Amino acid sequence: MRIMNKKYFVNGLSATMLAAVLLFSGCKSAYRLVAVEGSKTEISSKWDRNPNEEAISVLAPYKAQIDSIMTPVIGKSAMDMKADRPESLLSNLVADVLRQAASNYIGKPADMAVTNVGGLRSSLSKGNITFSDVYQILPFENSLCIVTLKGSDLQSLMENIALARGEGVSNARLEITKDGKLLSAFVDGKSIDPDKTYEVATLDYLAEGNDKMVAFLKGQKKICPEGATMRDIFLEYVKQQTAAGKEITSSIEGRIVVK
């Protein structure tokens, strides 16, 4: 921020931030906001060409501590997996893990599971899996929620998923159109009974109706166990599979078909 002819010009400060600066500097009556300018700086490897040795020295012990946590290998992936619509290896895997995790709280897997493709922020590469890989895929503190929906409301949820052109689902099959309309929906291989209740495992973010999954707001009951983050659930799954001598796998099964 700089002053020129009694006007403040800013680069990178929001108008709210500038207003706060003016207020707390006692300039409220003397100055007024006339313009806000901003720019983006790309963060890439070019900034590593001239490293600041002093900064590296200060951060070194913290980096060593983080590396000791994030770099150990906890499992192995049998294939490359990415998240995409309408269906993908990674979104199928995470949805399956989410559905099974419900067993710890309701005594059985959920009738189906839904996770958002947008919440999966990286791919899983074939080969060793580290803590860092899981943190990159699931960087948010999203937690498991089990929502009880009446069949008619579950049908509406399927329409929400179709409108999004697909999300990660487990134990469900949808046929949708290219423009996001639902043609048919099945849970556990059966048509949805409008009068039956279904338990759907999802994330707290979606259970609140975000990402246009508004049908969740009609839930008759919602269980959101404290501390059951999706990241920790997935980490535990990888560790259990590894302990059993298994690699992490997934498959495309036609869970969401565009017609």
Q: What is the pLDDT of residues 243-259, one digit of tens each?
A: 999 999 999 999 999 99
Three-class SS of residue 104? helix
Cα(93)–Cα(81) distance, rounded to whole angstroms? 9
Does the predicted TM-score (pTM) go above 0.85?
Answer: no
Which tokens in the block code for residue 163? 């409108």
- As a whole number, the mean pLDDT across the chain is 90
For the purposes of burial, counting CB atoms within 10 Å of the CB of 240, is it exposed (0-12), middle (13-18) or buried (19 or more)?
exposed
Contact 207, 224 (CB under 8 A): yes
What would the pLDDT profile of 153-172 be if each residue is shown by its tens digit? 999 999 999 999 999 999 99
Q: Residue 202's closest CA among 243, 240, 154?
A: 154
Measured CA angle at 208 (ends 207, 212), to 5 deg: 90
Distance of CA 142 to the CA centre of its chain: 7
Cα(66)–Cα(60) distance, rounded to whole angstroms? 10
By percentage, how much of the chain surpasses pLDDT 70?
Answer: 88
- Domains (range + CATH), the chain: 1-40 (no CATH), 73-258 (3.90.780.10)
Diameter of the chain measured on Cα atoms: 73
